[in-house]
Amino acid sequence: MKYIHLKSFFLLTLLLSSVACKKKLDDLYQNPDGYSKDMADKSGVSVIAGFFTSQLTQGFFLSGDYGSVYHQVRSGERTMANAIQVYNTTTEGAPYALKDVEHDWGTGGFNESVFNFVNTQWITPILWAQREYNNTPQAKRTNLDSLYITLLHVLKGYAYQRATDMYDKIPYIETGSAGGLDGIKAKYLGQSDIYPKIISDFKNAEAVLTTLTLSATEQASFNQQDIIFGGNILKWRKYINSLRLRCAMNVSEVLPALTTQVLTDLQGKPLLSDYNDVAGVADIAVIALNRICNELGITRAFRERGGDCHAGKKFLQDVMYCQPTMGSKVINGQTLSYFSGDNSATGLSNGTVDPRVAYIFAPDWSGRYLGVDTKWDGNKDPNSYLNQVLRGYYINDPILTDISKTTFNYGVNKSIQLDAASKADLSKRESFLLNALRSAVANGDDNDGNVGTANNLVAEYNVRPQFNFALKYPTIHAVETELSLAEAAVRGFGQLNGAARDHYKNAIILSCKYWYELNNSNQYSKTTLPAMPTTMDDSRINAKPAMEYNASVYAENAAQKFDAMSANQKVQAIFNQLQLHYNMLNFEVPYTAARRLIKYLGTNPASMYEIFKWKERMTYPSSVQASDPEGWSIISPSNNPDLPVWFTGRTTKWKNALE
């Protein structure tokens, strides 16, 4: 049986430096039919160690993946609106009619990627390693073999957690089994069966690590093989315990007693707690440097989805307290309001505005941190949010009062020419300019569909953290762990290491530090390898935050607001922080949180578009029907994007305004 080829051969060559001869590596890692423990022992490299390192480099597992991230940004953001494309117009952008992301272009890549990965790349190395381990007599199993197989069980649990979150029933192989390699067929199990199993597996794995002692030689070998935590056992324990906490919160609507039990079990256990506690692998660790931005990696996905990179009003204004400053003016006998700027300058200094405004987002070309809304306006209200954003550009420009001026300039070398009627009549100019700017932002004409230009009409994601190629894709982060502890305390599942407000405050501080470091540490440019896209403006690439703002002061102000909230409001605020922190980098975690919180909150906590249909789950690849008729008979009754998954505790679909 041929094992899927290791796409990270370059990385393995570096890590497994004890094998000097490339031919030995070729034989050992590229020819699975020749695998044997004797070969590995003679080469000085454990087969199981090789499978462990291979597992860490699988596509879209602990790292990004161009295709998967592209479709999650495109279709996922239409579901969750972690990043915004402008649709809230009638004559530009899109009409006010319900759209179905389920059958949208590229839906296959969105729906099917996690299912396909968990049944191929994410599980295959684990099964090969398990078979080697099972076939090795107990007396010949080394300390490192036992360590690697334990960690592979953890990684298997993490893979199944992601897959079952999306689909509910998935093909599951019991821990300790090599599955189809030994003729044992995977069984389709759902969340109600899988979650208790993987929570137990995580607990057992962490217990093994608490008593593990490695010799100096073993530790040196582990340091080489472990590309995620560098051989740090404590970080593995933190990771495992934080995964247990994630799983416990995911089932809190249906198994609250299990949630409480996990919180109790975690007393005194290490958890992800530092700003750099992130389980993820950077693109530069597994992809040839010259291929990262143009061909592979998550940055290509962001570059190609420039229209989705607008900042959301929800984040900037409602979560981060960056408020627009208002103005008004009478035009043609009508009082029109507009946004003249924002409070970011003073707010960032005095701690009333979230520091992440300056770390995660970039202002519009005029320096304002004003995002866009997902709510429909249709240009029916002259003082709608979008109109107030765009009107601020021209409301005090001479073009409204000087009949000789017929061109409106903005950004860098961007302009709008008045039509014949507006050239001849001052009273027609305000309406003309407003509609022209609405059309420009809705169709990406302001930035030509790119991110990082100098012409954007609304705030966007900042390219410095987003295109920091050293970014470790955050599959789970300490901020999530802190927010889970905050929610657990609010909802009465258990209090661990402090009160809810302590965890909420700490999550904000950690997130601020994380995003500041991603932004400030970015040393890449258009001339480095890998290189920033040539479509980006140098002013955006080089615009570091003016300083590191005092996150503790802001977080305390936010915590005081948190203190005054009801339980429901606190849970919504916790979700907002989760969605803000992961934003475009990790669609799956806030999507799962939103679905499970609908029952508790009575509504969807995400900033939904009104024109896109809500999805309760991903659907299966149609190929399963032909390849596995027996399995298809099990999953086909639930192959419905309108059917809530088990952990939501719901049987009724959540519907938006148009459904």
pLDDT tens digit sequence for 256-315: 999 999 999 999 999 999 999 999 999 999 999 999 999 999 999 999 999 999 999 999
| Mean pLDDT of the region 122-139 | 94
Q: What is d(CA 148, CA 265) in angstroms, rounded to the nearest whole number?
A: 24
Structural domain includes residue 10: no
Residue 493 burial (C-beta neighbours within 10 Å; 0-12, 13-18, 19+): buried
Structural domain includes residue 558: yes
pLDDT for 37: 57
Decide if pLDDT at 21 tops 60. no
pLDDT tens digit sequence for 234-245: 999 999 999 999
Structural domain includes residue 39: no
C-beta separation of 508 from 555 below 8 A: yes
Structural domain includes residue 381: yes
| Mean pLDDT of the region 550-579 | 98
Residue 37: both structure tokens together: 């423990």
Strand partners, 337: 328
Spatial CB neighbours of 169, under 8 Å, sequence gap ≥ 6: 188, 189, 190, 634, 635, 638
Structural domain includes residue 133: yes
Q: Where residue 155 falls among pLDDT bands split at 50, 70, 90?
A: very high
Q: What is d(CA 321, CA 344) in angstroms, rounded to the nearest whole number?
A: 9
Co-location of 403 and 534 in the same domain: no
pLDDT tens digit sequence for 598-622: 999 999 999 889 899 999 999 999 9
pLDDT for 25: 30
pLDDT for 104: 81
pLDDT for 88: 77
Co-location of 285 and 228 in the same domain: yes
Co-location of 446 and 470 in the same domain: no
Q: Where residue 29 falls among pLDDT bands split at 50, 70, 90?
A: very low
Residue 170: both structure tokens together: 């998935």
Q: What is d(CA 337, CA 329) in angstroms, rounded to the nearest whole number?
A: 6
Decide if pLDDT at 499 tops 70. yes
Closest CA to 452 of 357, 361, 341: 361
Q: What is d(CA 401, CA 624) in angstroms, rounded to the nearest whole number?
A: 66
| Mean pLDDT of the region 97-114 | 87
Which of 373-387, 520-534, 632-646 is least confident? Answer: 373-387
User: Domain boundary residue among 458, 483, 513?
Assistant: 458
Domain housing 620? 66-302+466-648
Co-location of 324 and 429 in the same domain: yes
pLDDT for 38: 60
Co-location of 265 and 176 in the same domain: yes
C-beta separation of 205 from 154 below 8 A: yes
Decide if pLDDT at 501 tops 50. yes
Q: What is d(CA 445, CA 594) in angstroms, rounded to the nearest whole number?
A: 33
pLDDT for 608: 86
Decide if pLDDT at 651 tops 90. yes
Co-location of 247 and 199 in the same domain: yes
Co-location of 386 and 282 in the same domain: no
Share of the chain above pLDDT 70, in %: 92
Closest CA to 212 of 277, 135, 142: 142
pLDDT tens digit sequence for 46-92: 899 999 999 999 999 999 999 999 999 999 999 999 999 998 766 66
Higher pLDDT, 332 or 4: 332
Q: How far is CA 90 from CA 94, 435, 439, in A?
A: 6, 11, 10
Decide if pLDDT at 40 tops 70. no
pLDDT for 486: 98
Spatial CB neighbours of 427, under 8 Å, sequence gap ≥ 6: 332
Local structure of 57: helix, strand or coil = coil
Q: Where residue 5 falls among pLDDT bands split at 50, 70, 90?
A: very low
pLDDT tens digit sequence for 459-493: 999 999 999 999 999 999 999 999 999 999 999 99
Co-location of 407 and 478 in the same domain: no
Q: What is d(CA 166, CA 163) in angstroms, rounded to the nearest whole number?
A: 5
Structural domain includes residue 484: yes
Residue 93 burial (C-beta neighbours within 10 Å; 0-12, 13-18, 19+): middle
* pTM score: 0.93
User: Domain boundary residue among 399, 432, 458?
Assistant: 458
Q: Could you tell me the CATH number of the domain that includes residue 643?
A: 1.25.40.390
Decide if pLDDT at 95 tops 70. yes
Q: What is d(CA 324, CA 343) in angstroms, rounded to the nearest whole number?
A: 6
Residue type, 541: I
Report the Cα 334 to chain-centroid distance in Å.
Answer: 44
Co-location of 374 and 258 in the same domain: no
| Mean pLDDT of the region 321-325 | 98
Decide if pLDDT at 336 tops 80. yes
| Mean pLDDT of the region 501-509 | 98
Domain count, the chain: 2
pLDDT tens digit sequence for 158-188: 999 999 999 999 999 999 999 988 889 899 9
Co-location of 448 and 564 in the same domain: no
Q: How many CB atoms lie within 10 A of CB 139?
A: 5
557: left (phi over 0), alpha (psi -120 to 50) or beta: alpha
Structural domain includes residue 525: yes
User: Domain boundary residue among 426, 458, 490?
Assistant: 458
pLDDT for 201: 98
Co-location of 287 and 401 in the same domain: no
Structural domain includes residue 194: yes
Please give the helix or strand (H or E) that residue 335 lies within, else none. strand 334-342
pLDDT tens digit sequence for 61-72: 999 999 999 999
Co-location of 225 and 116 in the same domain: yes
Average pLDDT, the chain: 91
